[in-house]
Chains A and B, each alone.
Chain A
Amino acid sequence: MSSHETLAHAAPLRAAGPARAAARLLASETALTFRRPRHLAMLAVLAVVPVLIGVAVRIAGADGDAGPIIARVAGNGLVLAFASLSAMLPLILPLAVSVVAGDAVAGEASQGTLRYLLTAPAGRGRLLALKYANVLIFCLAACALVAVSALVAGLALFPTGPVTLLSGTTVPYAEGLLRAGLAVLYAAAGMAALGALALAFSTLTENPIGAIAASVVLVVVSQVLAVIPQLSALRPFLLASWWNAFDGVLRAPMDTGRMGTGLLVFAGYAAVSGAFAWARFTSRDVTS
């Protein structure tokens, strides 16, 4: 169904500039992604979890073994955005991104719509780029949704005002918002690297569940590897161990060094996965 609609948009645009055609294709692809009930349900979960965390802190209070950052939420609602990202980046956000990116190509193949899609004059490389651009938009939207939902819940449940950073420095609320925005961008970059990986898996199979499962299993395995002390040498090379480095925005001065390294790791993963996906997708026989 999806590619029929995509095709319907794409076909009349043959004459228009390739950039505009690509933009239109991307727009329709994105619209499809955000209209799919499965994805909407996932986004709803992403929006609800920060609210649940906020309500739980509000009811139970911040004492006990709540974890260092959760305890701060009660003091300032803005911190809920960082706490939510910190809680959701290890598993929930990667799961959502894996579902969308793992489905991108394999989903079309399993529905038998991939070959129709390939009849469009866009070319396979460009189609793949389009699919990845769509994944990027989803990553950014998912991370931003978590932050916005947390901000709204934080405003409703907790006091606002100047934000205390991890370093003990206090910054105005507006700067706190800016820092939350940076955290969202960093988290989205981390998710985009995973998205490239899941997209590469997606080009390998005609079974979207397989690609999604492979991506999720990889996330879980790398989380497990990261906590084994004997394998600590491996940690800097694992994608998952860099996601939570967004906490660098909460330090004074901002820990740009660590976040920069994280972005480099993300770029490395995205480059290798993207090149692999491209080689696979442009050379394979599409039979369905």
Chain B
Amino acid sequence: MRSGTRAMRWGVPVAAVAVVAGVVAAGPVIAAVQGEPSLPRRTAAELLADAAEKWQSGRLPQMSGTIVETASLGLPALPVAGGATSPLGLLSGSHQAKVWYGGPDRLRLMVPDEMNENDLVVNGDQVWWWDSAANTATRIKGAPDGAGRPDAVPYTGTVTPRQAAEEALRAAGTDTEIAVGEDATVAGRAAYQVVLTPKDAGSLVKEVRLAFDGETLVPLRVQLYAKGTAEPAFEVGFDSVTFTPPAPENFAFTPPPGAKVEEATAPPIGRGPHGKDGEPGADGHGAAAPRVVGDGWDRVVVVSLPKRFEGDLAGAADRAKGGRDVEGVASLANGMLNAAAPVSGEWGSGRLIRTKLVTALLTDDGRLLAGAVTPEVLYAAAAAK
């Protein structure tokens, strides 16, 4: 009897664990039970045309929401994981930003970090970049009026959005298959999915999925799948979104007293050398401007490197202590070089770095080739000189 009540008492913590686990799992389970939403069918051309029409008229609905960016490119572990606004930091892990959109010329993008925040505030002709860690407000000059306007509509010269969409589809159709995928739920909203599948066999990209809100046709999510993986290698999309006008104070920015006020032509994001996939960037080490070889998805970036490139990278940290990414770039480069496999062929010899999405070849004659392609494509590009 007594032992029986004792056993019952232990049921309480078990129940508590069950309740907590239930709350944690509630989101995915509810989503799984609800299944995929079903929206009225639309073809890819109709979808793109309708989306382009909304974009061109500048009538995107006012909205605010949280954007989450997740990258799992399979890079070697990054010992220095940079901040949320550094290009290096964005290459691994998950990052969050908040966005408020109040019209073509009113936008606020906020990147929170622990005890730190960066803001991009666009209000009419005023564009500010605020860095709370540096206590610096940068007024961005020369920004086109209405810098917040999504300027991504291609073929603006054509007459109607529908024609533009058809033309875009035809242009892309040579190397890309465009289809409408299953409807998805993004940020709790039913969304159309457009799936772009590369036709080039040499591409490491399996497909790119674009999700458009079913009601407003606002793009809600972009997912990039590498071949042979079930999870997206790169994903950026809304975690939560509301289509209501944001509070006006979001767009009112005045530099706080005591802050440094600077002027620039571009936001000083991620100061220091550019650190993208080991590309040396234009930081004055004598690297020639990168060229692009090939077309479509098989595009390969070729950079001629100065001599003693490795020593350069390793020593970069000592030379430029000011940049906050420099050590990250140096350690990333070292990690990459250590992970590189020596390869050789008719094109010469060098070292190959493979990640899920990007392959890079560092040839012994001082060229760096990189692209979202298989090594064979890089070898061919290397042989072509």
Q: Do A and B come from one complex?
A: yes
Residues of chain A having any CB pair with chain B under 8 Å: 67-69, 71-72, 75, 82, 86, 162, 164, 166-170, 229-230, 232, 237, 244, 247, 250-253, 255, 257-258, 264, 268, 271-272, 274-276, 278-279, 282-283
Min Cβ gap B143→A in Å is: 18
Q: Decide: B13 and A251 in contact? CB cutoff 8 A.
A: no
The distance from the CB of B34 to the nearest CB of chain A, in whole angstroms, is 22
Q: Is the CB–CB distance between A283 and B13 below 8 Å?
A: no
Task: Give the secondary structure class of A's interface.
Answer: helix
Give complex CA distance A164, B249 in Å: 15
CB neighbours (8 Å) of B93 from chain A are: 229, 232
Residues of B with C-beta under 8 A to A167: 110, 117, 119, 130, 132
User: Measured between C-beta atoms, what is the minimum distance from B124 to chain A in Å?
Assistant: 18
Contact A272 B17 (CB under 8 A): yes
Task: Please name 12 further chain A to chain B contacts, defined as beta carbons within 8 Å, in addition to the given A167-B117, A275-B13, sorted by A numbering.
Answer: A69-B115, A86-B115, A167-B130, A169-B256, A232-B93, A247-B115, A251-B112, A253-B249, A268-B24, A271-B19, A272-B16, A275-B16
Contact status B94-A276, CB under 8 Å: no
Interface size on B, residues (CB 8 A): 42
By a CB distance below 8 angstroms, the chain A residues around B16 are: 271-272, 274-276
Whether B13 pairs with A164 at a CB distance below 8 angstroms is no
Contacts of A164 in B (CB 8 A): 256-259
Cβ-neighbour of B116 out of A69, A229, A258, A279 (below 8 A): A69
Contacts of B29 in A (CB 8 A): none
Residues of A within 8 A of B13 (CB): 272, 275-276, 278-279
Query: Does chain A have a CB within 8 A of B269?
Result: no
**Interface-central residue, B117, B130, B257, by most chain A CB under 10 Å:** B117
8 A-B pairs with C-beta separation under 8 A? A71-B135, A72-B135, A166-B117, A167-B117, A167-B119, A168-B119, A272-B17, A279-B12
CA distance A72 to B119 in the complex (A): 17
7 smallest beta-carbon distances between A and B, as pairs = A68-B133, A275-B16, A275-B13, A164-B256, A166-B117, A276-B13, A283-B6
Q: Is the CB of A166 within 8 A of B256?
A: no
**B255 is an interface residue with CB less than 8 A from chain A:** yes
Q: Tell which of A247, A251, A253, A282 touches B247, judged by Cβ atoms closer than 8 Å.
A: A253
Q: Report the nearest B residue to A70, measured CB to CB.
A: B115
Number of A-B contacts (CB under 8 A): 98
Per-residue CB contact flags for chain B residues 104-140 toward chain A (1 = under 8 Å, else 0) read 0000001010111101000000000010111101000
B residues bordering A, Cβ < 8 Å? 6, 9-10, 12-13, 15-17, 19-20, 23-24, 66, 77-78, 81, 92-94, 110, 112, 114-117, 119, 130, 132-135, 137, 240, 247, 249-250, 253, 255-259
In the complex, chain A residues whose CB is within 8 Å of the CB of B119: 167-168
A210 to B284, CA, bound (A): 59
A168 touches B77 (CB 8 A): no
Q: Which of B17, B20, B259 contacts A168 (CB 8 A)?
A: B259
In the complex the two chains form, what is the Cα distance from A274 to B19 in whole Å?
14
Give the CA-CA distance A230 to B94 in the complex, in Å.
Answer: 12
On whether the beta carbons of B81 and A229 are closer than 8 Å, the reply is yes
Taking A229-B77, A278-B9, A279-B13 as contacts, is the C-beta distance between A268 and B115 under 8 angstroms?
no
**Residues from chain A with Cβ under 8 Å of B259 in the complex:** 164, 168
Known: A168-B253, A255-B112, A272-B17. A282 touches B130 (CB 8 A): no
A264 touches B17 (CB 8 A): no
Quick one: given A72-B135, A229-B93, A268-B23, are A168 and B255 in contact (CB under 8 Å)?
Answer: yes
* Chain B residues within 8 Å of A276, by CB: 13, 16
How far apart sit A283 and B10, CA to CA, in the bound complex (Å)?
A: 9
Decide: A244 and B253 in contact? CB cutoff 8 A. no
Q: Which listed residue (B15, B19, B66) contacts A257, Cβ 8 A? A: B66
Q: Taking the nearest CB of chain A, how far is it from the CB of B107, in angstroms?
A: 15
Residues of A within 8 A of B20 (CB): 268, 271-272
Distance A199 CA – B94 CA, assembled complex (angstroms):
34
| Distance from B21 Cβ to chain A, minimum over Cβ atoms (Å) | 9
CA separation between A168 and B117, bound complex, in Å? 9
Partner of A247 from B92, B114, B255 at Cβ < 8 Å: B114
Which B residues touch A278, using CB under 8 A? 9, 12-13
Closest-by-CB residue of B relative to A75 is: B258
